[in-house]
Structure 1
Amino acid sequence: MTEFLKKEGKFTYAEAGEGKAIIILHGLMGALSNFDETFNYFSKKGYHVLIPELPLYTLPLLKTNVKNLAKFLHDFIEFKNLKDVILLGNSLGGHIALYYLKHYPQYVSGLVLTGSSGLYENSMGNNYPRRGDKEFVRKKAREVFYDPAIATDELIEQVYEVVNNRNTLIKTLAIAKSAVRHNMAKDLPKMKQPTCLIWGKQDTVTPPEVAEEFNKFLPNADLFWIDKCGHAAMMETPDQFNQILENWLNSKNL
């Protein structure tokens, strides 16, 4: 994806394709590369696909929260002069999409959530690792996926660097606490945009009952399950994920 990366002002983002805009929002421990397959697929299917790098570790500590990450997203959408966007978020990225939709519904024509927080999330629980405890990080990273092999050494190293750095760990905890505070349950019934929920049946971070709650409270939602799949369907089962999403977009004329 590096060949598609751009840096303009305060924004670093990947961009490809032409057509209706799909903005992809990565999770708290996620990276732009988590969406490689989806980015490549839909940028060749008549969509303008963008993945902004979220400022998880560069905002001032007091502004490191869901609210200000949604504000950053709004700044990005205005900077790119986008309208009627489709927001696609995994984990924290889904939560940011929901918070954004609550405050700027006029900019959003569709919503896609996969393993999204916003109602409940069990990431590392209360047991964040001691600094230097790489085996704990390895164990927790593997638990995110149905197939633990998806948690490559490179991915584990990325997570380890975050939790082993005092500054990024403090900001990670700040965002996690913010996500708990910004529970979206009361807001969901007001969100009328078509919403696609794609969930791994073996997701242990945002378990299947979370998907069912989203489906219950969102008035215009469709829920799709992927078996033998954990928290990041776009990484574990990209072909199935992309096919479900493409069929849904076509069914909604999005």
Structure 2
Amino acid sequence: MSLHVESEGAGPDLVLLHGWAMHSGIWRDVRERLARHFRLHLVDLPGHGFSSPYRANLEQGIMEYSVESVAEILPEDCILCGWSLGGQIAIELAKRDPARVRKLALISTTPCFVKTDDWQWGMEAGTLQLFGINLKRDYKGTLNRFLTLQISGGSNTAAVLARLRKSVFERGKPDEIALEEGLRLLLLSDMRGTVTSISQPVLLIHGEKDVITHPGAAKWMNQQLPHSELMILDDCGHAPFLSYPDQFVKHMLRLKGCDN
């Protein structure tokens, strides 16, 4: 497996993991500013961006495959930041290797994407299932609808949506198998038990009007994690680093111990 990783800047190592259907180019609005304070490592997850395609097998699902692939390139004593699905991968890595992952930032992350009888902060399972069906019928149309959901509820939505649409295909067409397996993971994963075992300091950044991962999920994690800090951004959807890059960078600098 070959992961595409771009590194720049100086300071504590900060690894950035993107979300479903995207790639590390999505961080461009905050990349330069973060690189003034951190040694950045921008990762394209398996089957996304310039990384090798994901090939499913019976013994290893996409979560396990992604976790093992990222673990191979993680610097020692790093800060790990994951957005949405990337946040779930970051949670698993932090649990498995707490000596290497010393701090964690979870952006628009939920431990469980789907609403259940004992979890009210998820999406309806039918919504995700429909995305999977439509992905095979109308690939680009389905991704565009998903991008529109990401900015729903926030401010400056037209500009943010334009940046998302520009980004999604600029490194080529994402691997369809990776997208399908990623959706299946979102449907089936429940990391509530894993989250409670995280011992590292955790920064939670979430949009107040996120319709993909409800802010209630971030509040729940904040209550479960004894060393966590929660930042809720007003009038913000699923991509706070695009909607409010200045605030995002300011909050991320808390992980370094500075706030300017």
Distance 1:180 1:135, change over 3 A: closer
Give 2:218's aligned amino acid.
Answer: A
Among 18, 30, 35, which residue is 1:38 paired with? 30
Between the aligned partners of 1:59 and 1:161, the Cα distance in structure 2 is 13
CA contact (8 A) 1:65 1:179 kept: no
Residue among 138, 145, 148 paired with 1:142: 148
For 2:103, the equivalent position in structure 1 comes to: 110
User: Of 81, 100, 105, which residue of structure 1 is paired with 2:93?
Assistant: 100
8 Å Cα contact 1:138/1:156 also seen in 2: no
Name the residue aligned to 2:16. Answer: 24
| 1:50 and 2:41 correspond | yes
| TM-score of the pair, normalised by structure 2 | 0.80
* Correspondence 1:60 to 2:31: no
1:235 aligns with 2:242: yes
The letter of the residue matching 1:154 is K
The C-alpha deviation readout for 1:157-199, integer Å capped at 9, x for no partner, is 569954xxxxx33431212222444421112222111000011
Residue in 2 aligned with 1:3? none
The answer (yes or no) to whether the contact 2:20–2:84 under 8 Å persists in 1 is yes
> Residues 67 and 251 of structure 1: is their aligned pair in 2 closer, same or farther, counting only changes over 3 Å?
same
- CA-based RMSD of the aligned residues comes to 2.6
User: Cα offset for 1:103?
Assistant: 1.1
Which among 65, 72, 80 is matched to residue 75 of structure 1? 72
The whole-number CA distance in structure 2 between the counterparts of 1:96 and 1:236 is 23
If asked which structure has higher relative contact order (CA below 8 Å, sep 6+), I would say 2
**Structure 1 unaligned residues grouped into runs of 5+:** 1-8, 163-167
Percent identity reads 21
From 129, 132, 137, give the equivalent of 1:131. 137
CA distance in 1 between partners of 2:73 and 2:140 (Å): 35
Helix, strand or coil at the partner of 1:187: helix
Which letter maps to 2:27? F
Structure 2 residue runs without a partner (length 5+)? 115-122
Separation of aligned partners in 1, 2:110 and 2:26: 17
Change (3 A) 1:236 1:83: same
Give the distance between the partners of 1:221 and 1:244, measured in 2 at CA. 13
Contact kept, 8 Å, 1:118 with 1:179, in 2: the verdict is no
Distance 2:54 2:255 in 1: 35
CA distance in 2: counterparts of 1:109 and 1:92, whole angstroms: 20
Q: Which residue of 2 aligns with 1:4?
A: none
Determine the C-alpha separation between the residues in 1 that align with 2:91 and 2:227. 14
- Asked if 1 retains the 8 angstrom alpha-carbon contact of 2:211 and 2:238, the reply is yes
2:6 is paired with a residue of what secondary structure? strand
